[in-house]
Chains A and B, each alone.
Chain A
Amino acid sequence: MTDTFSLMNLLEVRNLQITYKLRTSDVVAVDDVSFSIAAGECLGVVGESGCGKTTVGMAIMQLLAGNGHISAGEILLNGKNLVGLPDKELRKFRGRTVALIPQDPMTSLNPVMRIGDQVVEAYRIHHRVSKKVAAERALEMLRMVEIPNAEERFNQYPFELSGGLRQRVIIAMALVCEPQLLIADEPTTALDVTIQAQILDVLDNLREKYKLAVMLITHDMGVIASRTDRVVVMYAGRAAEEASTSEIFRDMRHPYTRALLASVPSIEGDQPTRLHSIPGLPPDLTKPIEGCRFRARCEFATEECRRAEPSLTASGDGHRFACFNPLSIGWDGVRESGAAIPIRRRGDEILVSLQNLTKDFPLRAKGIFTRERRVVSAVSDITLDVYRGETLGIVGESGSGKTTVGKLIMGLEKPTSGSISFTDADPSHAPVTQLALAKIRQMIFQDPYASLNPRKRIVDLIGEPLDIQGTLKGPEQTRRIGELLDEVGLPQESLYRYPHELSGGQRQRVGLARAMALQPAIIIADEPVSSLDVSIQAQMLNLLSDLRDEKGLSYLFISHDLAVVRYIADRIGVMYLGKLVEIGPAHQVFTQPAHHYTRALLDAVPVANPDAARGRSGSRLGGEIPSAIDPPSGCRFRTRCPAATEECTAVEPTYAEAGDNHLVACHHPLRATVAIRAKV
Chain B
Amino acid sequence: MEPSSNEVVRDELVSGVVASRGAGTVAGTGTMRQQMWRVFRQNKLALASLAFVVILILGAVIYPFFFNGLYWKSAPIDLANTCFNSTAPGYTGSAPPSAHHWLGCIKGYDTIGLLFYSGRFSLGIGFLSAIVTMSLGVTYGMLSGYIGGKLDAILMRIVDMMLSIPGLYLLILTIVLFGRSFVALTVVIGFTGWFGVARLMRAETQSLRERDYVAAAITMGASRQRIIYRHILPNAMSTMVTAGTFALGDAILALAGIGFLGLGLQPPQFDWGTLIQRGSDVFKLGYWWTIWPIAALFILFVLSTNYIGDAMRDAFEVRLQEQ
Residue positions of A touching B, CB distance < 8 A = 22-24, 279-281, 283-284, 287-290, 295-297, 301, 365-368, 410-412, 433-438, 441-443, 445-447, 450-456, 464-465, 468-469, 486, 488-491, 493-494, 496-503, 505-506, 509, 511, 514, 518, 539, 542-543, 546
Contacts and interface: CB of A to CB of B under 8 A. Distances in A.
B19 interface: yes
A509 B22 CA distance: 10
A434 B221 contact: yes
B213 interface: yes
Given A22-B323, A433-B221, A445 B23 contact: no
8 contacts: A23-B323, A287-B5, A366-B150, A453-B234, A497-B28, A498-B32, A501-B26, A546-B21
Contacts of B234: 453, 455
Contact of A465 (B10, B149, B153, B220): B220
Nearest to A289: B6
B277 to A, nearest CB: 45
B262 interface: no
B61 interface: no
Interface residues of B, number: 52
Nearest to B39: A23
Given A434-B221, A498-B318, A543-B21, A447 B10 contact: no
B221 A469 contact: yes
Contacts of B35: 498
Contacts of A496: 28
B25 A491 contact: yes
Contacts of A452: 213
The 9 closest A-B pairs by CB, nearest first: A489-B21, A435-B221, A451-B212, A296-B6, A281-B24, A455-B234, A494-B26, A454-B318, A465-B220
Interface in B268-323: 318-323
B6 A445 contact: no
A284 B28 contact: no
B216 A445 contact: yes
A65 to B, nearest CB: 13
A509 B18 CA distance: 13
Contacts of A456: 230
A434 B26 contact: no
A410 B220 contact: no
B212 A290 contact: no
B29 interface: yes
B26 A450 contact: no
A208 to B, nearest CB: 43
A491 B5 CA distance: 13
Given A279-B13, A296-B6, A455-B235, A450 B211 contact: yes
Nearest to B226: A468
Nearest to A291: B6
A509 B319 CA distance: 20
A453 B213 contact: yes
B173 interface: no
Nearest to A284: B5
A410 B221 CA distance: 11
A130 to B, nearest CB: 46
Contacts of A497: 26, 28
B12 interface: yes
A554 B50 CA distance: 55
A169 B234 CA distance: 42
Given A279-B9, A450-B212, 11 more contacts: A23-B42, A280-B22, A281-B24, A297-B9, A445-B215, A454-B235, A490-B23, A491-B26, A498-B32, A499-B318, A503-B24
Nearest to B233: A455
B55 interface: no
Contacts of B230: 453, 456, 464
A365 B153 CA distance: 11
B147 interface: no
A506 B21 CA distance: 11
Given A279-B13, A366-B149, A412-B215, A501 B220 contact: no
A410 B235 contact: no
Contacts, number: 158
B58 to A, nearest CB: 31
A499 B235 CA distance: 14
B21 A488 contact: yes
B222 interface: yes
Contacts of A434: 218-221
A509 B21 CA distance: 10
B17 interface: yes
B159 interface: no
B217 interface: yes
Nearest to A460: B230
A296 B12 CA distance: 10
Contacts of A295: 6, 10
Interface in B1-58: 4-7, 9-10, 12-13, 17-29, 32, 35, 42
Contact of A501 (B4, B10, B20, B28): B28
A509 B215 CA distance: 18
Given A280-B13, A411-B219, A500 B26 contact: no
Contacts of B149: 366
B17 A281 contact: no
Nearest to B27: A501
Contact of B218 (A24, A412, A447): A412
A101 to B, nearest CB: 27
A445 B322 CA distance: 22
A453 B231 contact: yes
A447 B212 contact: yes
Interface string B138-180: 0000000000111001100000000000000000000000000
A491 B8 CA distance: 11
Contact of A464 (B7, B215, B217): B217
Contacts of B226: 468
A505 B211 CA distance: 19
B36 to A, nearest CB: 11
B46 to A, nearest CB: 15
User: Which of B22, B220, B221, B230 is most buried by chain A, counting CB atoms within 10 A of its CB?
Assistant: B220
Contacts of A433: 221
Contacts of A365: 148
A251 B21 CA distance: 29
Given A434-B221, A500-B321, A451 B6 contact: no
B205 to A, nearest CB: 15
User: Which of A447, A453, A518 is most buried by chain B, counting CB atoms within 10 A of its CB?
Assistant: A453
A523 to B, nearest CB: 11
B323 A24 contact: yes
A223 B28 CA distance: 38
A488 B150 CA distance: 44
B45 to A, nearest CB: 15
User: Which of B17, B23, B218, B219 is most buried by chain A, counting CB atoms within 10 A of its CB?
Assistant: B23
B5 A501 contact: no
A455 B240 CA distance: 15
Contact of A368 (B12, B18, B153, B220): B153
Contact of B23 (A438, A489, A499): A489
Given A279-B19, A284-B5, A501 B29 contact: yes
A445 B212 contact: yes
Nearest to B231: A453
User: Which of B221, B237, B322 is most buried by chain A, counting CB atoms within 10 A of its CB?
Assistant: B221
Nearest to A524: B219
Nearest to B35: A498
B212 A296 contact: no
A153 to B, nearest CB: 32
Contacts of B322: 500-501
B9 A280 contact: yes
B139 to A, nearest CB: 20
Interface in B218-250: 218-222, 226, 230-231, 234-235, 237
B223 to A, nearest CB: 8
Given A438-B220, A443-B219, A445-B212, A296 B7 contact: yes
B222 A368 contact: no
B318 A451 contact: no
A546 B234 CA distance: 36
